[in-house]
Amino acid sequence: MHTQQVGQHGRRPRWWRGAVGYEVYVRSFADTDDDGIGDLPGVRGRLSYLADLGVDVVWLTPVTPSPQRDHGYDVADYLGVEPAYGTLDDLQDVLDTAHGLGLRVLMDLVPNHTSDLHPWFLDACSGRDADHRDFYVWRDPAPDGGPPNNWVSHFGGPAWTFHAPTGQYYMHLFLPEQPDLNWAEPRVWDAFDDILTTWFERGVDGVRIDVAHSLVEDPQFRDNPLLDTPPQGSGGTGSVFDRFAHIHDLDQPGVVDIYRRWRRIADAHDAVLLGEVYVLDPTKLQRYVADDALHSAFAFDAIKVSWDAWEIRTTLGPYVAACDDRLSWPLSSHDDPHAAQRFGGGEVGARRALAYLTLLCALPGVPFLYQGDELGLDDAVLPDGVAEDPIAVRLGVRGRDPQRSPMPWDDGPALGFTTGTPWLPVGSNRTATDTVVAQQQTPGSHLDATTSLLSLRRRLPALTGDAPLEWVVEEGPVVAVTRGDEVLVALHVGDGEGDARLVLPEEARLLYATDPAAFLVEGELTLPEDVAVIVALDPVADPETAPEADPAPDGDIEEVP
């Protein structure tokens, strides 16, 4: 499987190829004015840390003005900066500093909905003939006076709120304070053309598009079918939203047309469109990353798999086959538990998370870390009564606050995040040994191992270029892929039976292991459980020996029972 050579409409910015991404949850990253809320000067001050880590692309969660009902995903002004985070000049400083360090910056764009305090919506509520009325989705009541259909919100309750002054319901797939935009209205298209162009001209290198699969609705607004049981692995909250088949409100045919138009704008500015396309079907996801649509989309099944070799192979493999290198592979995100939490928590979870990241670094596309992943953090243990996440507040569930807790930088009451009171506790399970400074001073720490991994990946053209990928172990507890004839990456998920062994070409050389207990002697690789390795099969692929390397050796790879 080779990466396609793309033409005029399929061109991707050269800087995107082989990149590593990092999500900054701005509110929890670094606070400089002691108000307990992360800010843009805090981001700017930590960019050199991200450059040293080996990151190429920094994605900032929303920094535009917002009432913060959903922490920035309720946008009140698409072209300004949230005062709690700083000013437009502060954002420009972030961009300038990042570019000086060789980093690119993606901003979060929220085109599915606005805040109910956005001037467009305030005007829309002034009457049915208001200038911006058609910027939003309005429907007459059902014959019984209730909502127009049975659609429900991600955050609980109906997806419709009645607006008594004008006698109609408006749609919101999230909070009632987040009314959905109407993408059947041409002026909405024009408005976002201007928004994208403005940010790209200001120096932003691309956008991460929030809920990129949700912008278009069934024009007939038909009811969604009710499921007998929620789908397994849906990743849902157990809410009423998961009880429906969302065939009329999500992933509608016309949504990709929006990205075709945006693609022309992005390509003219050497910018990237990265979609939060929550579509857990590789063949359906494929159409979003066509030559003339999004440059990349997150493969969210990557953060849904359990610690099981068969599940990892059979889940990730079809995405690579369908979309090749047009995927971004999230290790974690602000919406999902940290990888270390998902894989068992504590030292075991951290060990597995690093091994899994090693595998993601071998797949075509862009691996993405979420802040704290490089430290091996699991989720924060928070006290009762501090919930901020709308899911937790409205549904009474765990919510997403534990993965959104402040970044631990150094020793101190708030672990270096702030000298004030953090907006969310750092977590009772966080200690000084979890911090960036502590791990920087500890050889072999999770941070040290992650930095070494990203550095090696950058030096291996087989992992960052067009080398074809092959899954070379079809069963058992080892997940292994090759990139061309040059590099093998193997992950031993484990089955309780002890070390695994792989027979490799005699010339093979171990380049990286997540644990020093892995070793390679005369072509036999010994791989402990919960460990991953990167192996040069061809001396030419070894960054240390490539200048004097011999031609590639012959040899097969087999697992030793």
* Counted domains in the chain: 3
pLDDT, tens digit, for every residue of 98-130? 999 999 999 999 999 999 999 999 999 999 999
Q: Which two tokens stand for residue 264?
A: 């022309």
Whole-model pTM? 0.94
Is the four-CA dihedral 343, 30, 82, 84 of positive or negative sign?
positive
In a domain, 41, yes or no: yes
Give the CATH number, domain containing residue 151.
3.90.400.10
Q: In DSSP terms, which residues pair with 106 in a beta bridge?
A: 59, 206
Domain identity same for 194 and 293: yes
- Residues 418-433 have a mean pLDDT of 96
If asked whether residues 71 and 133 sit together in one domain, one would say: no
Q: Same structural domain for residues 124 and 267?
A: no
Q: Is residue 227 part of a domain?
A: no
What is the distance, to the nearest Å, from the Cα of residue 99 to the centroid of all Cα atoms in its chain?
Answer: 21
Tell whether 125 and 106 lie within a shared domain.
no
201 burial (CB, 10 Å; 0-12 / 13-18 / 19+) is exposed
**Within a domain: residue 2?**
no
| Range(s) of the domain holding residue 160 | 119-171
The verdict on residue 387 lying in a domain is yes
Residues 445 and 366 in one domain: yes
pLDDT digits (tens, 9 = 90+) for 197-247: 999 999 999 999 999 999 999 999 999 999 987 655 444 445 689 999 999
pLDDT for res 7: 36
Same domain (yes/no): 203, 320: yes
| pLDDT at residue 322 tops 90 | yes
Q: Based on the fold, state whether residues 202 and 345 are members of the same structural domain.
A: yes
Residues 429, 483, single domain; the answer is no
Q: Is residue 242 part of a domain?
A: no
**Residue 397: per-residue pLDDT:** 84
Give the pLDDT score at 156. 86
Residue 261, pLDDT > 70, answer yes
- Domain end: 453, 483, 507, which one? 453
Whether 328 maps to a domain, the answer reads yes
Work out the percent of the chain whose per-residue pLDDT is above 90: 87
Residue 129 burial (CB count, 10 A): 7
Give pLDDT, residue 546: 52
pLDDT at residue 278 in the model: 96
556, 428: one domain: no
* Banded model confidence at residue 559, pLDDT cuts 50, 70, 90: low
Q: Where are the alpha helices (DSSP H) in 361-508?
A: 390-395, 436-440, 446-459, 461-464
Q: Are residues 401 and 422 in the same domain?
A: yes
Domain boundary among 420, 453, 486: 453
483 and 338 belong to one structural domain: no
| Residues noted as catalytic | 210, 276
Is residue 537 within 8 A of residue 554, CB to CB? The reply is no
Q: Is residue 205 in some structural domain?
A: yes
- Pair 243, 227: CB distance under 8 Å: yes
The CATH number of whichever domain residue 556 belongs to comes to: 2.60.40.1180
Mean pLDDT across the chain: 93
Q: What is the pLDDT of residue 549?
A: 33
Task: Report the CATH number at residue 322.
Answer: 3.20.20.80
Residue 372 belongs to some domain of the structure? yes
Q: Does pLDDT of 6 surpass 60? A: no
Domain boundary among 453, 475, 493: 453
* Same-domain status, 201 and 125: no
